[in-house]
Amino acid sequence: MHMADALISPAVGGAMWAATAGLIAFSSKRVKDTADDRKVPLMGVLGAFIFAAQMINFTIPATGSSGHLGGGMILSILLGPYAAFLVMASVLVVQALFFGDGGLLALGCNIFNLGFWPCFIVYPLIYKKIVGNDPTKGKIMTGSLIAAIIGLQLGAFSVVMETLFSGISELPFGTFVFLMQPIHLAIGIVEGIVTAAVVMFVWKARPEILDAAAQLKQIGQISITKVLAGLAIAVVIIGGALSWFASANPDGLEWSMFKTAGVEELEGKDGIHESLSVLQEKTALLPDYGFKQDEARTQEPEAASQTAWPAVEPGTSVAGIVGAALVLVVSLAIGFLLRRRKASH
């Protein structure tokens, strides 16, 4: 559900940048009050995990489409909404700048769509209401499934509304929303199952983590080494190898666009779009999660027709590990900076 710049107008992109910047500032202030020596490394490793997990597109049967994990609910349940929003923003910034995934003008939209709804709406108003103060396997599964579905439905609808307000006539509201909502319902079911699995792993190892996130308090002086190690191992396996098995089908947004307008990508219509596209080409060291020469080769019709699955590419593994490491560093830097600011007051 990463929007490209061509899907939005500069006015909508600018407005969503402003809204997202405000949410980042607000979240930073709140995290400063609860960040501790346990939560900061958890922020970093979870950010790396979400980056790696988002590289795995899974096929939606009988549709010709695919989907990938959003991750907002996992972050919210394990970090609390404010730290979760900052980590999600870190993931999407790294993806846009270094991998060309999602536009720079659309970055505010993407952070809002994938971060705001699960962190600030669905987690406190739906997941916490279902799970309550006494989590069980059944409650976690039910809460994760329902929350993930609703979160993705809200995010998908936001994409439709942003294109509507941008005046993208190629994507008429009725047809676009009719396609976007059902396909993201299917994606939401898978996300809910994955969310429940990750949350139950952490809950069994250290239930205090979920309690701290729910009550917006520090984790305290407990060892979370087992949790960090488990997530770190998952990052290496997913980013380094399982990313080869990602579905080649268009994701839910691209699929909906193709069914609506006959194309999976639209072209930017003014100088701002073109300028940002040029800038992104310069910053994207591993465009489309691979080496630049790999990307050029896959554009050739003959090579594209011979693409095999799984796509065992060294560039994909490098992108998975490097990207996860970048998110880890950015998330840790944010956490430690806020922790230091708290200590200095």
Half-sphere exposure at residue 150, Cβ-oriented, CA atoms within 13 angstroms: 19
Please determine, for residue 143, whether its predicted confidence score (pLDDT) is greater than 90.
yes
Half-sphere exposure at residue 187, Cβ-oriented, CA atoms within 13 angstroms: 31
For position 310, what pLDDT does the model report?
77
Split at pLDDT 50, 70, 90, the class of 220 is confident
Q: b/e per residue, 214-248, with b = 16+ CB within 10 A?
A: beeeebeeeebeebbebbbebbbebbbebbbebbe
Rounded CA separation 120/209 (Å) = 19
Bridge partners, residue 65, by sequence? 60
How large is the average pLDDT for residues 245-261? 94
Angle (nearest 5°) at CA 93 between 315 and 312: 15
Nearest to 47 by CA among 331, 340, 335, 260: 331
With beta carbons less than 8 A apart as the criterion, state whether 109 and 5 touch: no
Split at pLDDT 50, 70, 90, the class of 301 is very low
Rounded CA separation 50/104 (Å) = 20
pTM over 0.85: yes
Residue for token pair 């399982």: 242
Q: Which token pair is 105?
A: 């003008």
Q: Which token pair is 70?
A: 């959003």
- 95's CB contacts (< 8 A; 6+ apart) are 2, 51, 54, 101, 102, 323
- Looking up residue 231, the CATH number of its domain turns out to be 1.10.1760.20
Q: What is the pLDDT of residues 78-115, one digit of tens each?
A: 999 999 999 999 999 999 999 999 999 999 999 999 99
What range does the domain containing 250 cover?
5-344
- 124's CB contacts (< 8 A; 6+ apart) are 81
Mean pLDDT of the chain, nearest integer: 92
Q: Look at 273 and 328; give whichever has higher pLDDT.
A: 328
How large is the average pLDDT for residues 248-264? 93
How many Cβ atoms are within 10 Å of 131's Cβ, its own excluded?
A: 22
For position 51, what pLDDT does the model report?
98
Nearest to 45 by CA among 327, 343, 341, 254: 327
Residue for token pair 């060892």: 223
How large is the average pLDDT for residues 256-268? 88
Maximum distance among all alpha carbons in the chain? Answer: 62
Q: Strand runs (DSSP E) across the chain, as ranges?
A: 58-60, 65-67
User: What is the tally of structural domains in the chain?
Assistant: 1
How large is the average pLDDT for residues 57-81? 96
Rounded CA separation 44/25 (Å) = 19
